[in-house]
Amino acid sequence: MNFRILFTSVLLGLLFAACATTKHSEIVVAEFGNNDIKMGEFENAYAKNVGGIEAAKKDSLSDYEKFLDLYVPYKMKLRDAFVRGYYQDEDLNKELNDYKTKVGVSYLEEKYIVAPGLKNFYDQRSEEVRASHIMIKRDSTDEAAKKEAQSILDSIKNGASFEKMAAKYSDDRFSKNKGGDIYWFTAGQIIPSFEMAAYSTPVGEVYPEVVKTKFGYHLIKVTDREKRRYKIRASHILIKSTENNRNDSSSALNRITKIDNDLKNGASFDSLAREFSEDPGSAKNGGDLGFFERRQMVKPFDEAVFKLKIGEISPIVKTRFGYHIIKLTGEKEYPPYEEEIEKLREIYKKSRYQYDYDQFIDKLKKEFDYSVNEDLVKLLTKSGDQITLDTEYKKNDNFTSHKDENIITTKNRSVSLDSLLTFMDKKSEYKGKKLDVALLNGGIKKYGNQLLLEEKAATLENTDPEFAKLMDDYRNGIYIFKLQEDEVWNRVKIDSTQLKKLYEETKENYKTPPQVGYSEIFTYKKEKIDTCYQLLKNGEEFGVVAEKYTKQPGMKDKAGDQGIKIVDESETSRIANSLSNIGDFSKPFKVMKGWAIVKLNKKLHAREKTYEEALPELSSAYQEMESKRLEKKYNNKLKELYKPQYFYEELTNAFKPENN
């Protein structure tokens, strides 16, 4: 007996322990049929509905209960959609796949190109890089220029001086005699492929490969790197001088030297700038130039000012404008990512997006074994045999002989010449042009890039949980829509007998609005309307005055008669309705673009509509009423089938996992 009691106690203890350790997300908050709705699912659905976890935590138990009352029927409908085999419906699956492709491509570009590209762009812009380069122009053959650049790079790797090689070989005449120095820059200021190479190279080293840009081939050496000074504010005193006039330059130097000495002796920078600076734009403001970024000023000025700390004054600086003394007065820190993102997005799209897009496409080409039929490209672009993309191109022998051959191939798809040219023929940049190498390769690139993005989008649901959830939501949405069609909307039948019955029961709800008939005289000028008013007061007929003076288009022939209008349609109709007796006219009043006088012709008070007049509203009301009835009937059928149970008491723990 004691053993039984002990054994039972142990079992109960184990049972309670198991209950006590039930995972918060596994707590069942509702059941229907053999299906559970657990806390984790409920919380995710609720938070999504109210705008996030933090918003959800602030809501009451009553809010949670109301949501569960809606969520369980929704889940029962989805179960019903599954039982009906909607997942096998060809039309629904086609719609889903079309959506997956369309949304998937946009999703790919935003999440896998723009979002990481933008963050990397922001991070790079927190630094400044100083670099030198040797550029070989692509004047002769592309291959010859590349070989020359590679040969110079090999020499540098074997110990040759970068600076001497720049002076000897670089085609950049602005930098070659400065060791190739192109000064400081940050991301977004020069060619992306050049920037990416520079940012990946340690200070003092040469990038290990030749870099190709639209200007030619580059060898890149990074000479310095530092935290970027985002924006600085400075004031300056300028004494102008002309470089080719020695006397002028000497005089200017003497004057700026005196000002420099005065500053060293404690004189006010602001006062000296106002009195002596020859920069008319800033002198009146004490020399203030406002905030600016690196590279916005001429190089000698830029180099000097960016070495200063706040409050420091530079030595005398010579530029092509003359002599400057510069004082740093302020500095802005690089803003947080969240503050800078929208401004950066525009810069990124213009300067870096295409580079990141091309890099992403290159990865997809490897992933999907992308290839182009180069033999077919050569054959199609041979001189004398080229196709012109006009209305007759499909009769071209070159096309008819090869139209079914594949010109693009990937792991899962292939594109025939016919498909490619049909695509190109619809694009204005190709239509009517001869199919030379550049044009055909342009079309292949555009079509191929889209093809690769679509192929990647087709696999996203299996690799990206966020996209899979997006597709689940859309799938559930079209299933619910289909159910509503099958169970409610398609079953609503308009029955004239029922409509007439509804009209008799509710006709007091259908009334015409108050209406008014009036005539109007409209003029653009106040003196003209005053003339009209005086004529009316003197007994002239309203219609006669309107025919002569009204400026409203089409109203002279109608003697200003506006017909019947709803009273609340406009301020003019309201003024007409405020008149007491038929034939009364108003005083002149201001209207848009001019002045008006109105005469009351008729008043129509609100009344019950006839059946025919009420029919459009009746039909709408009947459809709504019948839809609600059918919806209720369908929901009751699901309740009867699945017998849902709600465990409202468990919702006291919603969004409080620490209590479990």
DSSP 134-150: EEEE-SS-HHHHHHHHH
Low-confidence ranges of the chain (pLDDT < 50): 1-20, 660
532 burial via Cβ count (<10 Å: 0-12, 13-18, 19+) = buried
Would you tell me the crossing angle of helices 437-463 and 417-425 to the nearest 10 degrees?
100
Would you tell me the crossing angle of helices 269-276 and 246-264 to the nearest 10 degrees?
150
**Alpha-carbon span 170 to 219, nearest angstrom:** 9
Q: What is the pLDDT of residues 225-262, one digit of tens each?
A: 999 999 999 999 999 997 766 667 889 999 999 999 99
pLDDT for position 658: 59
CA distances from 521 to 368, 566, 569, 587 (A): 74, 19, 18, 11
Six token digits for residue 294: 């690196």
Assign 582 to helix, strand or coil: coil
pLDDT for position 5: 40
Six token digits for residue 68: 């569960």
Alpha carbon 200 to chain centroid, angstroms? 30
Q: Identify the CA nearest to 277 among candidates 328, 329, 326.
A: 326
Alpha carbon 374 to chain centroid, angstroms? 37
CATH number among 3.40.50.150, 3.40.50.300, 3.10.50.40, 3.90.79.10, domain 231-332: 3.10.50.40
pLDDT for position 21: 56
- Phi/psi at 595 (5° precision): -135, 155
**Alpha-carbon span 598 to 567, nearest angstrom:** 13
Q: Identify the CA nearest to 328 among candidates 289, 356, 365, 354.
A: 289
Q: Identify the CA nearest to 460 among candidates 473, 469, 450.
A: 469
CB proximity list for 430: less than 8 A, separation 6 or greater: 389, 424, 439, 442, 443
**Alpha-carbon span 175 to 131, nearest angstrom:** 11
pLDDT for position 598: 97
pLDDT for position 24: 92
Q: Identify the CA nearest to 243 among candidates 233, 253, 235.
A: 253
**Alpha-carbon span 325 to 317, nearest angstrom:** 6
Q: Does the fold of domain 231-332 match that of domain 127-227?
A: yes
Instruction: Report domain extents, the chain.
Output: 127-227, 231-332, 512-604
CB proximity list for 307: less than 8 A, separation 6 or greater: 314
Q: Which residue has the tokens 């029919």?
A: 615
Q: What is the DSSP letter of 519?
A: E
What ranges make up the beta strands (E) of 393-511? 406-409, 414-416
- Phi/psi at 619 (5° precision): -60, -45
CATH 3.50.50.60 assigned to domain 127-227? The reply is: no
Q: Which residue has the tokens 């099958």?
A: 486
- Bridge partner list, 136: 217
**Alpha-carbon span 177 to 132, nearest angstrom:** 11
pLDDT for position 573: 96
**Alpha-carbon span 645 to 32, nearest angstrom:** 6
CATH number of 512-604: 3.10.50.40
Neighbours of 404 (CB within 10 A): 10
